[in-house]
Amino acid sequence: MRHHHLLLRCRAMPLLPLPPRTLRVSGGLVHHRLIRCHGMPIPRRTPGVSGGRLFASLPLPPPLQSPREVHVWYLCPDELNNQSQLNMYEELLSPSEREYADSMKATMLRKDVVLSRALLRTTLSRYTGCKIDPRSFEFKKNKFGKPEVLWPLDDSTAEQPLHFNISHTTSLIACGIAINAHIGIDVEEKKRNTTKNILSLARRYFTPSEVDSLAEISDSDAQRKEFLKLWTLKEAYVKALGMGFSGAPFSTFSIMLETSKGIRISKTSNASRPGYDHLSENWLFTLAELNSSHYMSVCIEDSSRSQGPEDSPAPVGLKVWKTVPFVEDTLVSGTEAVKLIA
Amino acid sequence: MPAFVLQLYIAMCLQSDPECPALLDSRIHLEVANVISSRSSVSFRSQKMSFVSIRSRPSSLRFKICCSATGEAQAKKETVDKVCMIVKKQLAVPDGTPVTAESKFSELGADSLDTVEIVMGLEEEFNITVDETSAQDIATVQDAADLIEKLVTEKTA
């Protein structure tokens, strides 16, 4: 995806539909109507959409209170089949994002790209006081290809930079947000099967201690699930670090799930060769089960000064919402839908 | 000169030319599609080399083959086909969707776990080891095939 060198030009716009959509005011209530490209207004009562108010403003989320707090917003592509809703999400995309969506061979993949970008843009809009139009965000890539927001130079939100990361499976797309801390997120379907044998994969890509801990599990299904948990944690770390798969090969660090201090990471001996100095261990992890169907790992930078081998890191404050942008948000953390594993 | 006779000669010469081991692919004689012949030289485009010309000496029936390749040789079709097969299997690509050398893994829906499984499958099939830096640069089937050939060549060198 090309990245834009242009500075953000439209900012602090109220989230209202732009022309050619009409805006009618009657008796103090503002009705927004979505006009399709061929000029036919959609019926006000759209099935599946509460009140038909497709352009309701995004509600303000609770603020991120510390760099240890992570907010995750996710959606389920299979449940979003309303074409006018999907068209609306597509309108939020930049031309290059639309081009990328169009390059997808399968319709499902195209839909995933649209939803993924719409989720990111609407989430960023929420966390900038709902004052920035989702359409106006611009992105750049760091030198390793990790996407970041290209903040306008004079915007106050750049002082407390928002960090984001996205992960998708066919059935769930998640966007993690943190403030002042680099973040990585990875989701995986619990029932996912690998084509290769689990221990072969682990021997090829994981560390010896991780292989040993997997080999101890005799039940093949339990072993597969443990592999997936480790996989998502390692992916989340690599994504948080932002240096790509080769910047932190999986064989250079071990993740330990069952320590008394929660999930810990440690570099392996082959990470002491030159080129891997950037592999740091001051990262916080959290692993959860979503809807009993997915594993989700989140990794954020730990900038606290009290980091020492004896101190247990404070747990990551995790809040999770299931969202249908512009329609409905449901806080699911603290319910059965989000079960913390570690 | 009739095309089939030309093919036969080329095949014979290819067999005996020690300077171009890459020409020992017996399929090349089928690729003499566009033959432009003049009095003393015949040229054709082939899939493997960018340009091959055959010069005939007036007094001899045998041809001397000179080949000049411009740029890097692309991976053999065989390699590309094997990569396509491994990719199709890993990503469970439906029969209607074509997978070709230009296919991008991301466009076929490969995520990171799929990618490492594909790489592992390629390592097993071709008996090579792909390091993370090289793996990261693979975006298409062609990239994978080119890398495989490079690694196989390095291995046998």
User: Is A31 part of a structural domain of the chain?
Assistant: no
Task: Give me the tens of pLDDT residue by residue for chain A, a chain 342 residues long.
Answer: 444 433 333 333 333 333 333 333 333 333 333 323 333 333 333 333 333 333 346 888 888 888 889 999 999 999 999 999 999 999 999 999 999 999 887 888 899 999 999 999 999 999 988 888 899 899 988 888 888 888 876 656 555 688 999 998 889 999 999 998 999 999 999 999 999 999 999 999 999 999 999 999 999 999 999 999 999 999 999 999 998 888 888 999 999 988 777 888 888 877 776 777 777 888 999 999 999 999 999 999 887 655 455 555 567 789 999 999 999 999 999 898 999 898
> What CATH number should be reported for the domain holding residue A292?
3.90.470.20
Contacts of B113 in chain A (CB under 8 A): 188, 192, 194, 231
Q: Mean pLDDT lowest for which of A176-185, A199-208, B59-68, B72-81?
A: B59-68
User: Is A34 part of a structural domain of the chain?
Assistant: no
User: Is A14 part of a structural domain of the chain?
Assistant: no
Model pLDDT, residue A108: 86
On whether ipTM exceeds 0.95, the answer is: no
Total domain count, chain A: 1
Model pLDDT, residue A280: 82
Model pLDDT, residue A84: 92
Residue B56: HSE in the Cβ half-sphere, 13 Å Cα cutoff:
16
Query: Does the distance separating the beta carbons of B120 and A200 come in below 8 Å?
Result: yes
pLDDT interval class at B74 (50, 70, 90): low
Chain mean pLDDT for chain B:
68
pLDDT exceeds cutoff 60 at B13: no
User: Of A194, A235, A249, which is closest to B112 when you measure between CB atoms?
Assistant: A235
Note the pLDDT tens digit of each residue in A8-39: 333 333 333 333 333 333 333 333 333 233 33
Note the pLDDT tens digit of each residue in B26-43: 334 434 444 444 444 444
Q: Which residue of B has its CA nearest to A204?
A: B120
Interface of B with A (CB under 8 A): 89-90, 97, 104, 107-109, 111-113, 116-117, 120-121, 123, 131-133, 135-136
pTM for this model (two decimals): 0.73
User: Is A62 part of a structural domain of the chain?
Assistant: no
Query: Does the distance separating the beta carbons of B120 and A196 come in below 8 Å?
Result: yes
> Are A254 and A218 spatial neighbours (Cβ–Cβ below 8 Å)?
no
What domains can you pick out in chain B, each with its CATH number?
A: 74-156 (1.10.1200.10)
A24 touching B (Cβ < 8 Å): no
User: Is A177 part of a structural domain of the chain?
Assistant: yes
Model pLDDT, residue A85: 93
B100 to chain A, closest Cα gap in Å: 12
In B64-101, which positions are buried (b, 16+ CB within 10 angstroms) versus exposed (e)? Answer: ebebeeeeeebbbeebbebbbebbbebbebeeeeebeb
pLDDT exceeds cutoff 50 at B1: no
User: Is A3 part of a structural domain of the chain?
Assistant: no
Model pLDDT, residue A105: 76
Q: How far apart are CA A81 and CA A102, in angstroms?
A: 18
Q: Which residue of B has its CA nearest to A231?
A: B113
User: Is A58 part of a structural domain of the chain?
Assistant: no
A100 touching B (Cβ < 8 Å): no
Residue A209, domain extent? 69-340
Name the one residue in this structure whose structure tokens are 């261990």.
A281
> Is B143 labeled as catalytic in the residue annotation?
no
User: Is A44 part of a structural domain of the chain?
Assistant: no
Note the pLDDT tens digit of each residue in A165-210: 999 888 999 999 999 899 999 999 999 999 999 999 999 999 999 9
User: Which secondary-structure segment (H or E) carries B152?
Assistant: helix B141-156
A203 touching B (Cβ < 8 Å): no
Q: Which of B81, B95, B111, B131 is catalytic?
A: B111
Model pLDDT, residue A309: 55
Model pLDDT, residue B100: 92
B50 to chain A, closest Cα gap in Å: 30
Query: Does the distance separating the beta carbons of B116 and A205 come in below 8 Å?
Result: yes
Q: Which of A193-197, B9-13, B71-75 has the highest mean pLDDT?
A: A193-197
Model pLDDT, residue A233: 96
Query: Does the distance separating the beta carbons of B108 and A200 come in below 8 Å?
Result: no
pLDDT exceeds cutoff 80 at B7: no
Contacts of B110 in chain A (CB under 8 A): none
- Amino acid sitting at position A301: E
CA A92 centroid distance within chain: 17
pLDDT exceeds cutoff 60 at B143: yes
B157 to chain A, closest Cα gap in Å: 25
pLDDT interval class at B87 (50, 70, 90): very high
